[in-house]
Amino acid sequence: MDRIRIRGGRPLAGEIVIGGAKNAALPLMAAGLLTDERLLLSNVPRLADIQTMTALLQQHGIAVDPADNDGRTLSIGGAIGSTEAPYDIVRKMRASVLVLGPLLARVRAARVSLPGGCSIGTRPVDLHLKGLEQMGAQIDLQGGYIDARVEGRLRGATILFPFISVGATENLLMAAALADGRTVLANAAREPEIGDLATCLVAMGARIEGIGTDRLIIDGVEALHGAHHSIIPDRIETGTYACAAAISGGSVFLRHAQLEHLGATMRILREAGVDVTQEADGLMVRRLNGLHGVDVMTEPYPGFPTDMQAQFMALMSVAEGAAMVTETIFENRFMHVPELNRMGARINVHGASAIVRGVPTLSGAPVMATDLRASVSLILAGLAARGETVVNRVYHLDRGYEAVEQKLAACGAEIERLPS
């Protein structure tokens, strides 16, 4: 298994190009199941999770072909041959469950492996299933699989989510696009990736109102057609490299980053002492003075994202004063804490909150990545640490960060991948 070695202490300087959003690309690829025609997606990031979704679509009989030289535009389409999403693919990536709504809407049957637990918590899919049942689907759970079918078309329904779920909103939005009648999704998630999905569905012929709000109104149509859609820049990659600039005491231009998608992230970084300015086609991020501790609580968009929690904690570990970081979305998302503490951080976890007491410097150490965002938080810590840090199990990182070591090295970081 590959490892990444970093020798810390160099301020970053230069430019990093922000890629297309992973969490927008995955549901957009699943939307390719909704039509016979070709869906062209551009600005697709080159990531392991995209390969997993490609394998899943291919398993359903759908062709996924590169439509440009660098593989960032994908052409998706074809007839659905198999309605089964097997355990071997779903266990690698929870977002595989996003094929459920589209398969059911288009061919009226789906057999999708239950995703099961993952390192950051149990993460059930009950909201996805209840919503589809409200739309007329019959769902049985057996042998670790969701067996779903519907007589005729799915039917429009009013679905009030008891709490906010990104994936359930996406699955039901795609299902509703082809349902018979009107669907209202109330207390829907408002993440920019959902707006991106809805915009693409509209380009495919869907009728959706309320895009960008927590109430989506969808008037189902009988068929959708092909479209060409360009994926929004990744706001989590943006926030991560903003933390990299800040923790290293440097200044980096984040090309293509969009301030309006960043919600609370940039406000919190500014409160912590990071200078962020909007420029043409990107954001300039600098650390001018010292960092200070700021309390944060993860929340659905536009609140502070759970996917930025680990990176922000790494930053707070070298800030002046204390910061309380509270995780409200996932129950087990502090696995980076013992690893950061091995590098000299002073972090104590009390239930859903962690108290981070800033230290003047971290020291390099061998550490273990446990999930996607945890792994990148260790890289950030390594950039600031004295001496050498080796991050093991970097396959987590490759799921969500394209060429992280090249992007950081181009800004002066001493970082390299050690192949297994």
Q: Does 23 bind ligand UD1 (CB under 6 A)?
A: yes
Q: Are 172 and 131 in contact (CB under 8 A)?
A: yes
Residue 118 is a catalytic residue: yes
Give the amino acid at 316.
M
Residues 282, 285, 287, CA angle at the centre, nearest 5°?
Answer: 175
Q: Which two tokens stand for residue 128?
A: 């996805």
356, HSE (Cβ side, Cα atoms, 13 Å) = 32
Q: Does 238 bind ligand UD1 (CB under 6 A)?
A: no
One of 167, 250, 293, 358 touching ligand UD1 (CB under 6 A): 167
Instruction: Report the b/e string of 21-39 with b at 16+ CB within 10 A.
Output: bbbbbbbbbbbbbbbebbb
> Which of the 8 DSSP states describes residue 60?
T
Q: Does 128 bind ligand UD1 (CB under 6 A)?
A: yes
Window contacting ligand UD1 (CB under 6 A); options: 125-133, 199-207, 360-368, 387-395: 125-133
- Longest Cα separation, the chain: 64
Number of residues engaging ligand UD1 in binding (CB under 6 A): 20
Q: Does 83 bind ligand UD1 (CB under 6 A)?
A: no
Residue 127: CB minimum distance to ligand UD1, A: 3
Report d(CA 256, CA 273) in Å as an integer: 23
Q: Does 306 bind ligand UD1 (CB under 6 A)?
A: yes
Report d(CA 397, CA 378) in Å as an integer: 11
Neighbours of 140 (CB within 10 A): 11
Q: Does 311 bind ligand UD1 (CB under 6 A)?
A: no
One of 72, 94, 106, 396 touching ligand UD1 (CB under 6 A): 94
Of the pair 22, 286, the CB lying nearest ligand UD1 is at 22
One of 166, 264, 276, 314 touching ligand UD1 (CB under 6 A): 166
Question: What is the per-residue binding string for ligand UD1 in 321-360, x denoting contact by CB under 6 A?
Answer: --------xx------------------------------
User: Which residues participate in catalysis according to the annotation?
Assistant: 118
Residues found near ligand UD1 in the complex (CB under 6 A): 23, 26, 94-95, 121, 123-128, 165-168, 305-307, 329-330
